[in-house]
């Protein structure tokens, strides 16, 4: 993978990720998140993980964020846009982020396994969709089914909670 | 990544883009002529021979119109939205094989191994152009159109995705070129009589394939906001829908996006069900560049036929009501597509390997 492309897409992902937090307008935030997802998906694709990358776009950018946008647009945004930034809270959040970054750097410097260079990953010989299917339905079949049941229960719960009782 | 690859790719992209834009402008002309023919009128026949220069006149008209922005519109998003509507429709065509080979170069811009997912993922981004346009116009009717559109596209995306699973169960690969290769060897999915028609299993498989095709085609109608599912722009109810406040080239971009989505949708339908660039008796491009060109011509002819069906339906059927559309999508097509997958899986599990 070309380092130029990595830096391009990584910085796009980070810039739009920051824009999600910084934008006063929720619609702009949601769109920035979409752009951030696109950058992330490009990063996945540059690692030859086409399936994960494209699912990122299909599920998050194409479906989940459309629903988010759908709800946000129905709200009254003027109250949100007038909101002032709480500088104290912003400084606190920034401080926590900086502390986390410093911590990560310190840990990495002292981490022995991080010092050695790993051999480059072998290119997958079969299509990644096939690999994922094999893993999901052969090795991890039971966890996969259990997660499916959990998601189904959650869906039924949401339907039950959001349904208005007929009077 | 050599220079040959980059140059041929750039050539393919440029030519394909030109062809798509040409097809869009003449699809508009064809739409007007076809509608006129269906309604027993003449249609545009004044500019040039048989009105063939009408698209050029239309383009100049749209360019010279005043580009008006409503005062209360959110200017940045108002200008961004038409672009967001066009780009996904055109990017999608990149993975569709539009010919076999020409001088040994495969006639597809990007032959990725997640082909159909790429089509779905990118075309699902098309809804942003409409939603943002309706919202940024800051006006009631466009907003209603945008809300309708996003609900409709989300609902029909499910049927769209489920409808093609049988095709890929058969092919065993998501690459669109493999879909075409499979159909060359085993006959087109929609037409069991092409290829080895003596095989009874093929006729059995043709039943779910036809169901699959119908669900996919109808979902494409809903995805491209074409009649009978053009509720986002229902003129009688919404004064024009999401593009009411747009004028001049921005309106033209929305128009272009709609037609480009229709063309790419037709191209995907042709690739998945009508054998792509294959026609019985015509060899592929390895047998000479003439055949390569013929393959490309065959592909675009098939696309034109599907586009004609789009227009035919538009000028024949009335529009669905809003609740009917949602009920049809969720309670009918979704279930049919789901059952269809089990049907094909059952036939594949118990039948001989085709």
List Cβ neighbours of B52 (8 Å cut-off, separation of 6 or more).
Answer: B29
Q: What is the pLDDT of residue A13?
A: 92
Which residue is associated with the tokens 């032959």?
Answer: B111
ipTM here: 0.80
Instruction: Say whether pLDDT at A148 is over 80.
Output: yes
Q: What is the pLDDT of residue A14?
A: 92
Extract the tokens encoding B235.
């003129």
**CB pair distance less than 8 Å for A27 and B77:** yes
List Cβ neighbours of A86 (8 Å cut-off, separation of 6 or more).
Answer: none
Segment A87-95 mean pLDDT: 88
How many angstroms separate the CA atoms of B155 and B270, rounded? 23
Let me know: does B201 contact B142? Beta carbons within 8 Å.
no
Which residue among B77, B125, B147 sits closest to A62, beta carbon to beta carbon? Answer: B125
Contacts of B122 in chain A (CB under 8 A): 57
Q: What is the pLDDT of residue B237?
A: 67
Domain boundaries, chain A: 3-123, 126-167
Contacts of B131 in chain A (CB under 8 A): 66, 69-70, 73
List Cβ neighbours of B150 (8 Å cut-off, separation of 6 or more).
Answer: A66, A69, A70, B127, B130, B131
pLDDT tens, position by position, A28-82 = 888 899 999 999 999 988 887 888 888 888 888 888 888 888 788 777 767 766 7
Interface test with chain A among B91, B120, B121, by most A beta carbons within 10 Å: B121
**CB pair distance less than 8 Å for B146 and A73:** yes
Torsion angle (degrees, nearest 10) of CA A116, A118, A119, A122:
170
Which residue among B114, B153, B173 sits closest to A54, beta carbon to beta carbon? Answer: B114
Domain boundaries, chain B: 64-350
Supply the DSSP string of chain A, one letter for each residue.
Answer: --HHHHHHHHHHHHHHHHHHHH-SSHHHHHHHHHHHHHHHHHHHHHTT-HHHHHHIIIIIIIIIHHHHHHHHHHS-HHHHHHPPP-HHHHHHHHHHHHHHHHHHHHHHHH-GGGTSPPPPPPPPSS-HHHHHHHIIIIITHHHHHHHHHHHHHHHHHHHHHHSPPP-
Quick one: closest CA in B to A58, which residue?
Answer: B121
Q: What is the pLDDT of residue B232?
A: 65
More confident residue, A142 or B293: A142
pTM: 0.85
**CB pair distance less than 8 Å for B135 and A73:** yes
**CB pair distance less than 8 Å for A127 and B174:** yes
**CB pair distance less than 8 Å for B121 and A61:** yes
Q: What is the pLDDT of residue A166?
A: 66
Extract the tokens encoding A136.
């999901």
Contacts of B118 in chain A (CB under 8 A): 54
Quick one: closest CA in A to B155, which residue?
Answer: A63
**Å between A86 CA and nearest CA of chain B:** 26
**CB pair distance less than 8 Å for A58 and B154:** no
The tens place of each residue's pLDDT in chain B, 354 residues long, gives: 578 888 888 888 898 889 888 888 888 888 888 888 888 888 788 887 887 888 888 888 888 888 777 787 778 888 888 888 889 888 888 888 887 777 777 778 888 888 888 888 888 888 888 888 888 887 788 888 888 877 888 788 888 888 888 888 888 878 888 888 888 877 777 776 666 666 777 777 788 888 888 889 888 888 887 777 776 666 666 666 777 777 778 888 888 888 888 898 899 998 888 887 887 777 776 777 788 888 888 888 999 999 999 888 888 888 887 788 888 888 888 888 889 899 888 888 887 665
**CB pair distance less than 8 Å for A70 and B151:** yes
Q: What is the pLDDT of residue A167?
A: 60
Q: What is the pLDDT of residue B167?
A: 86
**CB pair distance less than 8 Å for B143 and A73:** yes
Extract the tokens encoding B130.
């409409």
- A3-123 CATH: 1.20.120.1200
Q: What is the pLDDT of residue B197?
A: 64
CB atoms within 10 A of CB B87: 18
**CB pair distance less than 8 Å for B157 and A61:** no
């Amino acid at each position: 993978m070309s380092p130029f492309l990595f830096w391009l897409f990584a910085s796009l992902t980070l810039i739009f990720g920051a824009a999600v937090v910084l934008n006063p307008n929720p619609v702009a935030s949601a769109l920035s998140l979409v752009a951030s997802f696109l950058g992330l998906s490009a990063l996945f694709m540059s690692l030859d993980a086409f399936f994960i990358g494209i699912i990122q776009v299909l599920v998050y950018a194409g479906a989940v964020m459309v629903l988010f946008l759908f709800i946000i647009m129905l709200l009254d945004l003027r109250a949100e846009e007038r909101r002032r930034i709480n500088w104290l809270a912003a400084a606190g959040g920034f401080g926590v982020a900086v502390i986390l970054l410093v911590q990560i750097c310190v840990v990495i410097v002292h981490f022995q396994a991080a010092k050695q260079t790993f051999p480059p990953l072998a290119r997958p010989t079969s299509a990644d969709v096939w690999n994922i299917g094999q893993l999901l339905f052969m090795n991890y079949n039971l966890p996969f089914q259990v997660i499916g049941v959990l998601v189904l229960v959650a869906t039924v719960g949401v339907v039950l909670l959001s349904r208005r009782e007929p009077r | 990544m050599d220079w040959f690859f980059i140059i041929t790719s750039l050539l393919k992209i440029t030519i394909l883009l030109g062809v798509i834009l040409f097809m869009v402008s003449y699809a508009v002309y064809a739409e007007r002529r076809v509608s006129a023919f269906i309604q027993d009128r003449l249609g545009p026949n004044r500019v040039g021979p048989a009105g063939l220069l009408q698209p050029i006149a239309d383009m100049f008209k749209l360019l010279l119109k005043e580009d008006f922005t409503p005062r209360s519109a959110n200017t940045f998003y108002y200008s961004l939205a038409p672009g967001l509507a066009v780009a996904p429709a055109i990017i999608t065509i990149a993975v569709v094989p539009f010919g076999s080979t020409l001088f040994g170069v495969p006639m597809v811009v990007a032959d990725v191994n997640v082909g159909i997912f790429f089509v779905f993922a990118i075309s699902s981004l098309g809804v942003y152009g409409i939603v943002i346009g309706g919202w940024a116009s800051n006006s009631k009717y466009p907003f209603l159109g945008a809300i309708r559109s996003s609900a409709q596209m989300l609902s029909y995306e499910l049927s769209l995705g489920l409808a093609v699973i049988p095709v890929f169960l058969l092919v065993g690969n998501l690459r669109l070129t493999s879909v075409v290769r499979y159909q060359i060897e085993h006959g087109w999915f929609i037409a069991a009589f092409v290829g080895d028609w003596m095989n009874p299993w093929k006729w059995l498989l043709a039943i779910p394939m036809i169901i699959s095709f119908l669900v996919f085609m109808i979902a494409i109608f809903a995805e491209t906001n074409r009649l009978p599912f053009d509720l986002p722009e229902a003129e009688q109810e919404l004064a024009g829908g999401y593009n009411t406040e747009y004028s001049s080239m921005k309106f033209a971009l929305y128009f272009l996006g709609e037609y480009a989505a229709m063309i790419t949708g037709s191209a995907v339908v042709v690739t998945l069900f009508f054998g792509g660039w294959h026609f019985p008796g015509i060899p592929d491009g390895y047998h000479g560049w003439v055949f390569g060109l013929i393959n490309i011509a065959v592909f675009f002819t098939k696309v034109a036929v599907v586009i004609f069906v789009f227009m035919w339906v538009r000028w024949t059927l009335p529009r669905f009501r809003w609740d009917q559309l949602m009920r049809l999508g969720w309670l009918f097509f979704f279930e049919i597509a789901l059952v269809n997958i089990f049907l094909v899986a059952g036939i594949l599990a118990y039948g001989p390997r085709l």
